[in-house]
Amino acid sequence: MFYEDTPEQALRFGDVLRGYLSITPIIEEPMLGVPIKRCNIDVDLPQFCVVMDPCCRTRNKTISLTPLIKIWGTFFDNPYLEADLTRINRMMEPQQTLSSSQWDSLPQGQKTKRLAEGRAYAFFNLFVYAPHDWLPRYRASKTNGQEVPTNYYMIDFRSTYKLCCDRINSPTDAPLESKVLQVSRETRAELRDKISLYYAKVPAEDRILED
């Protein structure tokens, strides 16, 4: 079960909310000198967003959010993912991360290397949300141009941002009317595991130092 049938009266990690702005500063380069260089602010009101704070950390008029966005239609090129796009949220065998034609076209050396590495996440920064009646349907385009009707959505960990709201004092003392969906404990554990590994991933140069 991806979602809870009866959501709690509290804002929790992974919840789907509505009614919150997304603001992104855009600069050409770091502002190291004087005068301050020109910058742009991209302000958006996404239809839905997702709580990225741990359940006990939503307080003091501050919350961390990320927009809930449409999935990439190219996911449907892969039959393993096409059957259930939430498989992206879990580790997969190397040959499951690509379509059959993509896997077959890999040089044997790359196949051997990937098989030796074993199960892993295919899209480290993404987490897919299952279809629900609350989530509007849209059409996603596969590589061949074929359109697939879907109401899968996803979040990108890289798009997380801080937002201040006077009514957010604690998980229960908050604008609960903005809450649309609550993920199940199992789904929340998968989200926690994946985002933890996203931030804990050690780059190759640091692994060499550790060795």
Residue 87: CA count within 13 A, CB half-sphere:
16
DSSP H or E stretch at residue 198 = helix 185-200
In this structure, what token pair is assigned to residue 34? 């004087």
- 206 pLDDT higher than 70: no
Q: Are 51 and 14 in contact (CB under 8 A)?
A: yes
Question: pTM surpassing 0.75?
Answer: yes
- For the chain, the residue count is 211
d(CA 174, CA 19): 13
Q: Which amino acid is at 69?
A: I
Q: What would you report as the CA-atom Rg of the chain, rounded to the nearest whole angstrom?
A: 20
Say whether the peptide bond before residue 35 is cis (omega within 30 degrees of 0).
Answer: yes
- 208 pLDDT higher than 70: no
Q: Quick one: pLDDT at residue 207?
A: 63
Q: 158-171 pLDDT, tens per residue?
A: 999 999 999 999 99
Q: 148-201 pLDDT, tens per residue?
A: 999 999 999 999 999 999 999 999 999 999 999 999 999 999 999 999 999 987
Q: 85-106 pLDDT, tens per residue?
A: 999 999 999 889 888 788 888 8
- 45 pLDDT higher than 90: yes
